[in-house]
Amino acid sequence: MKYHILFNKIAGNGKCGEKIEELKTKYSEKGECLCTEISEITDYVAFFEALGEEDAVILCGGDGTINCFVNNTDGIDIRCDVLYYATGTGNDFLHDIGKEPGCEPFSIKKYIKDLPIVEVNGKTYRFINNVGFGIDGYCCEVGDAMKAQGKTDINYTSIAIKGLLFHYKPTGATVTVDGQSHHYKRVWIAPTMKGRFYGGGMMPAPKQDRLAEDGRLSVMLMHNSGKLPTLIAFPSLFKGELTEKKKVAALHEGYDITVTFDRPSTVQIDGETILGVTSYRAYAKKPAAVKVEA
């Protein structure tokens, strides 16, 4: 039996690599163990064709690593098991399924099949947790800039608070869910959720079920409030209580969701940023299979 450890060396603020040798030592006792940096794989079809059903892949990294993996392997028939060992910073996927950092590698095959799709700037992507626009996209953009400067101790909550107070300006947004449109002013966040958590512990969709058979998604908006009321309400987002504040929050559920902004903004997909976006469309099924009202 072979264990292929695929790791993202920059995950966990660059600390992922420190944990790989320990993992390799442990699994070498069970069979042949090989380590590969995920960015070095150029042909995923050939990679998986070389594996038998009795082999296993151990994916090491954070939410962004899972996102990279599911997009690079989209359409490939993966016969072997795929395990996950969390070494990221936010670990929202791990949190959502009730596991803690440092837990034993576990199978994620049931979590990475039939994932929703998002269309952004003419391209399509799968996502494991969410697609976000607003203060979260801004935070990812600022975080990327800090990483480019060589900084490793990045606090996204601190970036969000500073953004709310000084830097980020909300915009209007139109949300269309299964054919029904709603317009909101002064939108601070507008994530479409596959799971409950994003942004390192924020819970905009506390009732979202990533394993729901129908694949329904949730889109939540924090809107129509000034800086101070938004800052005061912000902590409730980490408790999953923001949706109870009807004056500043709205939640919609559906299969086909389009969010259009009044100005170009930054969108993040499982923490990976795309700049200059005016709209995104997320859907749980192929467009032809989604029933929407005329």
pLDDT of residue 236: 94
Would you state the torsion angle of the CA atoms of residues 70, 73, 75, 76, taken in this order, to the nearest 10 degrees? -130
Mean pLDDT computed over every residue of the chain: 89
pLDDT of residue 15: 61
Select the more confidently predicted residue: 129 or 153.
129
Give the model confidence (pLDDT) of 21-42 as tens digits: 788 888 888 888 888 898 899 9
* Rounded Cα–Cα distance for residues 208 and 253 (Å): 9
**Is the pLDDT reported for residue 292 higher than 60?**
no
Q: For the chain, what is the largest distance between any 2 Cα atoms, rounded to a whole number of angstroms?
A: 60
The domains located in the chain, with CATH, are: 2-107 (3.40.50.10330), 117-289 (2.60.200.40)
Q: What is the pLDDT of residues 47-87, one digit of tens each?
A: 999 999 999 999 998 898 999 999 999 999 999 999 999 98
Closest CA to 161 of 89, 230, 263: 230
pLDDT more than 90, % of the chain: 60
**In this structure, how many other beta carbons lie within 10 angstroms of the beta carbon of residue 5?**
23
Q: What is the pLDDT of residue 287?
A: 47
Residues of the chain with pLDDT > 70, as a percent, come to 94
Neighbour count for residue 46 (Cβ, 10 Å): 9
CB burial readout 136-152, b (16+ within 10 A) else e: bbbbbbbbbeeeeeeee
Lowest mean pLDDT segment, chosen from 66-70, 154-158, 221-225, 251-255: 154-158
For the entire predicted model, the pTM comes to 0.89
d(CA 48, CA 73): 9
Rounded CA-CA distance 264/268 in Å is 13
User: What is the per-residue pLDDT for 101?
Assistant: 84
Q: pLDDT (tens digit, 9 = 90+) per residue, 204-221?
A: 999 999 999 889 999 999
pLDDT in tens, 264-290: 999 999 988 999 999 999 999 644 444
Quote the distance between the C-alpha of residue 287 and its chain's center.
21
Contact 30, 56 (CB under 8 A): no
